[in-house]
Amino acid sequence: MTGLGCCLALAGGTSAGAAPNERIVGGDVAKPADWPFIAAIASRGGDQYCGGSVISEDAVVTAAHCVEGSRPKDVRVITGRPDLNDEGEGQLLKVSEITVRRKYGREGGHDVAVLRLESPTTASPVLLPTVEEDEDETEAGDELRVAGWGGTTANGGNPSDVLLDVALFAISDDECKDEYFPRLRGPGEICAFGEEQSFNHWNDSCYGDSGGPLVADNVRGALLVGIVSYGGTKCGQDKPGVYSQVADDLRFIKRKADLP
Protein backbone atom coordinates (compact mmCIF):
# COMPACT_ATOMS: atom_id res chain seq x y z
CA MET A 1 0.00 0.00 0.00
CA THR A 2 1.30 3.37 -0.76
CA GLY A 3 0.47 4.66 2.66
CA LEU A 4 1.23 2.22 5.45
CA GLY A 5 4.86 1.66 4.88
CA CYS A 6 7.22 -0.58 6.65
CA CYS A 7 7.76 0.99 9.95
CA LEU A 8 4.72 0.77 12.14
CA ALA A 9 3.77 2.38 15.35
CA LEU A 10 7.15 2.17 16.99
CA ALA A 11 9.18 2.17 13.83
CA GLY A 12 12.81 2.90 14.06
CA GLY A 13 13.24 0.53 16.97
CA THR A 14 11.76 2.88 19.53
CA SER A 15 10.62 1.30 22.73
CA ALA A 16 7.17 0.79 24.14
CA GLY A 17 5.79 4.04 25.45
CA ALA A 18 7.58 6.17 22.86
CA ALA A 19 5.68 8.88 21.04
CA PRO A 20 3.70 7.45 18.14
CA ASN A 21 5.33 7.69 14.72
CA GLU A 22 3.23 5.65 12.35
CA ARG A 23 2.13 4.56 8.03
CA ILE A 24 1.12 2.13 4.41
CA VAL A 25 3.75 1.63 1.71
CA GLY A 26 3.12 0.12 -1.71
CA GLY A 27 -0.65 -0.16 -1.40
CA ASP A 28 -3.79 0.74 -3.29
CA VAL A 29 -6.73 3.01 -2.64
CA ALA A 30 -9.01 0.95 -0.42
CA LYS A 31 -12.59 0.11 -1.23
CA PRO A 32 -14.69 1.61 1.60
CA ALA A 33 -16.90 -1.49 1.65
CA ASP A 34 -13.86 -3.56 2.62
CA TRP A 35 -13.17 -1.43 5.71
CA PRO A 36 -16.50 -0.18 7.15
CA PHE A 37 -15.10 -0.57 10.68
CA ILE A 38 -11.85 1.37 10.29
CA ALA A 39 -11.40 4.51 12.37
CA ALA A 40 -8.92 7.36 12.31
CA ILE A 41 -7.53 8.47 15.66
CA ALA A 42 -7.04 12.23 15.64
CA SER A 43 -5.99 15.06 17.90
CA ARG A 44 -8.54 17.50 19.27
CA GLY A 45 -7.58 19.74 16.37
CA GLY A 46 -8.63 17.04 13.93
CA ASP A 47 -5.24 15.83 12.66
CA GLN A 48 -5.11 12.05 12.13
CA TYR A 49 -2.08 10.35 13.69
CA CYS A 50 -3.12 6.71 14.24
CA GLY A 51 -5.74 4.18 13.19
CA GLY A 52 -8.28 2.07 15.04
CA SER A 53 -11.15 -0.38 14.61
CA VAL A 54 -14.76 -0.05 15.69
CA ILE A 55 -15.70 -3.05 17.85
CA SER A 56 -19.09 -1.85 19.10
CA GLU A 57 -21.33 1.19 18.65
CA ASP A 58 -19.42 3.03 21.37
CA ALA A 59 -15.98 1.36 21.50
CA VAL A 60 -12.86 1.45 19.34
CA VAL A 61 -9.66 -0.57 19.75
CA THR A 62 -6.27 0.93 18.86
CA ALA A 63 -2.61 0.63 19.86
CA ALA A 64 -1.66 1.53 23.41
CA HIS A 65 1.26 3.64 22.24
CA CYS A 66 -1.15 5.84 20.26
CA VAL A 67 -3.03 7.03 23.34
CA GLU A 68 -0.88 6.25 26.39
CA GLY A 69 -0.75 9.39 28.54
CA SER A 70 -3.49 11.11 26.53
CA ARG A 71 -6.60 12.62 28.10
CA PRO A 72 -9.97 11.69 26.56
CA LYS A 73 -10.69 15.33 25.82
CA ASP A 74 -7.59 15.53 23.63
CA VAL A 75 -8.52 12.60 21.37
CA ARG A 76 -11.09 12.36 18.59
CA VAL A 77 -12.26 9.34 16.59
CA ILE A 78 -13.30 9.64 12.95
CA THR A 79 -15.46 6.86 11.50
CA GLY A 80 -17.01 6.34 8.07
CA ARG A 81 -14.60 8.73 6.35
CA PRO A 82 -12.11 6.92 4.06
CA ASP A 83 -11.19 10.29 2.54
CA LEU A 84 -10.19 12.42 5.52
CA ASN A 85 -10.68 15.60 3.49
CA ASP A 86 -14.38 14.82 3.03
CA GLU A 87 -15.63 16.41 6.24
CA GLY A 88 -19.23 16.00 5.12
CA GLU A 89 -18.91 12.22 5.36
CA GLY A 90 -18.84 10.02 8.45
CA GLN A 91 -18.62 11.13 12.06
CA LEU A 92 -16.17 13.01 14.26
CA LEU A 93 -16.65 11.64 17.78
CA LYS A 94 -15.43 12.61 21.23
CA VAL A 95 -13.87 10.07 23.58
CA SER A 96 -15.18 9.53 27.10
CA GLU A 97 -12.65 7.00 28.38
CA ILE A 98 -9.24 5.59 27.43
CA THR A 99 -8.07 2.27 28.86
CA VAL A 100 -4.54 1.12 28.07
CA ARG A 101 -3.70 -2.54 28.57
CA ARG A 102 -1.97 -2.73 31.93
CA LYS A 103 0.60 -5.23 30.66
CA TYR A 104 1.74 -2.84 27.93
CA GLY A 105 5.31 -1.67 28.54
CA ARG A 106 5.94 -4.36 31.18
CA GLU A 107 6.51 -7.16 28.70
CA GLY A 108 6.50 -7.71 24.95
CA GLY A 109 3.25 -7.27 23.08
CA HIS A 110 -0.04 -6.05 24.56
CA ASP A 111 0.11 -2.82 22.54
CA VAL A 112 -3.65 -2.45 22.92
CA ALA A 113 -6.06 0.19 24.19
CA VAL A 114 -9.84 0.56 24.16
CA LEU A 115 -11.54 3.93 23.62
CA ARG A 116 -15.12 4.50 24.72
CA LEU A 117 -17.08 7.07 22.74
CA GLU A 118 -19.32 9.80 24.12
CA SER A 119 -21.90 9.09 21.43
CA PRO A 120 -22.50 6.03 19.24
CA THR A 121 -20.99 5.54 15.82
CA THR A 122 -23.04 4.29 12.90
CA ALA A 123 -20.02 2.40 11.54
CA SER A 124 -20.27 -1.38 11.41
CA PRO A 125 -18.11 -3.16 14.02
CA VAL A 126 -15.36 -5.55 12.99
CA LEU A 127 -15.57 -9.22 13.96
CA LEU A 128 -13.30 -10.38 16.76
CA PRO A 129 -11.71 -13.81 16.31
CA THR A 130 -11.89 -16.76 18.63
CA VAL A 131 -8.54 -18.13 19.75
CA GLU A 132 -9.06 -21.07 17.41
CA GLU A 133 -9.83 -18.82 14.43
CA ASP A 134 -6.78 -16.72 15.20
CA GLU A 135 -4.53 -19.78 15.19
CA ASP A 136 -6.00 -21.00 11.91
CA GLU A 137 -5.78 -17.65 10.12
CA THR A 138 -2.31 -16.44 11.17
CA GLU A 139 -0.09 -19.40 10.33
CA ALA A 140 3.07 -18.73 8.31
CA GLY A 141 2.12 -17.98 4.71
CA ASP A 142 -1.48 -16.98 5.44
CA GLU A 143 -2.63 -13.85 3.61
CA LEU A 144 -3.73 -10.89 5.73
CA ARG A 145 -4.77 -7.31 4.96
CA VAL A 146 -3.89 -3.98 6.57
CA ALA A 147 -5.15 -0.45 5.95
CA GLY A 148 -4.41 3.09 7.05
CA TRP A 149 -3.64 6.71 6.25
CA GLY A 150 0.03 6.59 7.24
CA GLY A 151 3.26 7.35 5.41
CA THR A 152 3.69 6.07 1.87
CA THR A 153 7.49 6.19 1.72
CA ALA A 154 10.17 4.21 3.52
CA ASN A 155 10.96 7.06 5.91
CA GLY A 156 7.29 7.49 6.80
CA GLY A 157 6.75 10.62 4.72
CA ASN A 158 3.84 11.57 2.46
CA PRO A 159 0.90 10.34 4.53
CA SER A 160 -2.26 9.71 2.56
CA ASP A 161 -5.55 11.57 3.07
CA VAL A 162 -7.31 8.66 1.35
CA LEU A 163 -7.47 5.23 2.97
CA LEU A 164 -4.96 2.75 1.50
CA ASP A 165 -4.70 -0.99 1.94
CA VAL A 166 -2.37 -3.82 1.06
CA ALA A 167 -2.00 -7.59 1.36
CA LEU A 168 0.60 -9.06 3.72
CA PHE A 169 1.71 -12.58 4.57
CA ALA A 170 2.27 -13.92 8.06
CA ILE A 171 5.72 -15.30 8.82
CA SER A 172 6.77 -17.82 11.46
CA ASP A 173 7.66 -16.88 15.02
CA ASP A 174 11.20 -18.17 14.55
CA GLU A 175 11.75 -16.09 11.41
CA CYS A 176 10.38 -13.02 13.16
CA LYS A 177 12.64 -13.53 16.17
CA ASP A 178 15.63 -13.87 13.85
CA GLU A 179 14.73 -10.54 12.20
CA TYR A 180 14.53 -8.73 15.53
CA PHE A 181 17.42 -10.41 17.38
CA PRO A 182 18.66 -9.43 19.96
CA ARG A 183 15.45 -7.48 20.57
CA LEU A 184 13.29 -10.55 20.47
CA ARG A 185 9.69 -10.27 19.45
CA GLY A 186 7.37 -10.54 22.43
CA PRO A 187 4.59 -13.06 22.94
CA GLY A 188 1.19 -12.28 21.50
CA GLU A 189 2.46 -10.63 18.34
CA ILE A 190 2.10 -11.37 14.61
CA CYS A 191 4.87 -10.68 12.11
CA ALA A 192 4.05 -10.05 8.44
CA PHE A 193 5.82 -9.12 5.21
CA GLY A 194 4.24 -7.70 2.09
CA GLU A 195 4.89 -8.73 -1.48
CA GLU A 196 8.33 -7.66 -2.74
CA GLN A 197 8.05 -4.79 -5.22
CA SER A 198 11.75 -4.55 -6.09
CA PHE A 199 15.00 -5.77 -4.57
CA ASN A 200 14.70 -5.50 -0.78
CA HIS A 201 11.56 -3.32 -1.05
CA TRP A 202 8.18 -4.73 -0.08
CA ASN A 203 4.66 -3.64 0.79
CA ASP A 204 4.19 -2.77 4.44
CA SER A 205 2.36 -0.69 7.00
CA CYS A 206 4.12 2.46 8.19
CA TYR A 207 4.21 5.48 10.49
CA GLY A 208 0.68 6.81 10.96
CA ASP A 209 -0.87 3.38 10.43
CA SER A 210 -0.29 2.41 14.07
CA GLY A 211 -3.35 1.17 15.88
CA GLY A 212 -5.06 0.24 12.63
CA PRO A 213 -6.51 -3.16 11.69
CA LEU A 214 -4.77 -6.26 10.44
CA VAL A 215 -7.53 -8.58 9.23
CA ALA A 216 -7.91 -12.13 8.00
CA ASP A 217 -10.70 -13.03 5.59
CA ASN A 218 -12.66 -15.83 7.23
CA VAL A 219 -15.91 -17.59 6.32
CA ARG A 220 -17.57 -15.31 8.90
CA GLY A 221 -16.10 -12.21 7.31
CA ALA A 222 -13.11 -9.98 8.06
CA LEU A 223 -11.62 -10.89 11.44
CA LEU A 224 -9.52 -8.41 13.41
CA VAL A 225 -6.47 -10.55 14.15
CA GLY A 226 -3.90 -7.80 14.72
CA ILE A 227 -3.26 -4.15 15.56
CA VAL A 228 -0.46 -2.22 13.85
CA SER A 229 2.27 -1.90 16.48
CA TYR A 230 5.89 -1.42 15.33
CA GLY A 231 8.48 -2.25 12.71
CA GLY A 232 11.96 -1.52 11.41
CA THR A 233 13.61 1.83 10.77
CA LYS A 234 12.61 1.94 7.11
CA CYS A 235 9.10 0.93 6.09
CA GLY A 236 9.21 -1.95 3.64
CA GLN A 237 13.01 -1.99 3.53
CA ASP A 238 14.22 -3.12 6.92
CA LYS A 239 12.25 -5.58 9.04
CA PRO A 240 8.77 -7.13 8.93
CA GLY A 241 5.89 -5.29 10.52
CA VAL A 242 4.81 -6.45 13.97
CA TYR A 243 1.16 -6.48 15.03
CA SER A 244 -0.34 -6.98 18.47
CA GLN A 245 -2.28 -10.24 18.40
CA VAL A 246 -5.91 -9.49 19.24
CA ALA A 247 -6.62 -13.01 20.49
CA ASP A 248 -3.94 -12.59 23.16
CA ASP A 249 -5.82 -9.64 24.68
CA LEU A 250 -9.35 -10.70 23.77
CA ARG A 251 -10.67 -10.82 27.35
CA PHE A 252 -9.36 -7.32 28.06
CA ILE A 253 -10.83 -5.92 24.84
CA LYS A 254 -14.25 -7.46 25.40
CA ARG A 255 -14.40 -6.45 29.05
CA LYS A 256 -13.53 -2.82 28.39
CA ALA A 257 -15.98 -2.63 25.48
CA ASP A 258 -18.77 -4.41 27.41
CA LEU A 259 -18.91 -7.17 24.83
CA PRO A 260 -20.11 -10.72 25.68
Going along the chain from its start, the domains and CATH numbers come out as: 11-30+128-248 (2.40.10.10), 36-125+249-256 (2.40.10.10)
Catalytically annotated residue among 53, 110, 111, 244: 111
Catalytically annotated residue among 210, 244, 248, 249: 210
Q: Is 142 a known active-site residue? A: no
| Strand spans (E) along the chain | 24-25, 28-29, 38-43, 48-56, 59-62, 75-79, 91-100, 113-117, 143-148, 164-170, 189-194, 196-198, 201-202, 204-205, 213-218, 221-230, 241-245
Task: List CB contacts of 102: < 8 A, sequence separation 6 or more.
Answer: none
Catalytically annotated residue among 58, 65, 70, 209: 65
Q: Is 248 a known active-site residue? A: no
- pLDDT (tens digit, 0 to 9) for every residue of the chain, 260 residues total? 333 433 343 333 333 333 333 335 667 899 999 999 999 999 999 899 999 999 999 999 999 999 999 999 999 999 999 999 999 999 999 999 999 999 887 767 899 999 999 999 999 999 999 999 999 999 999 999 999 998 777 666 677 899 999 999 999 988 888 888 766 666 789 999 887 665 566 677 888 899 999 999 999 999 999 999 988 777 767 788 999 999 999 999 999 999 99
The pTM (predicted TM-score) of the whole model is 0.87
Q: Is 65 a known active-site residue? A: yes
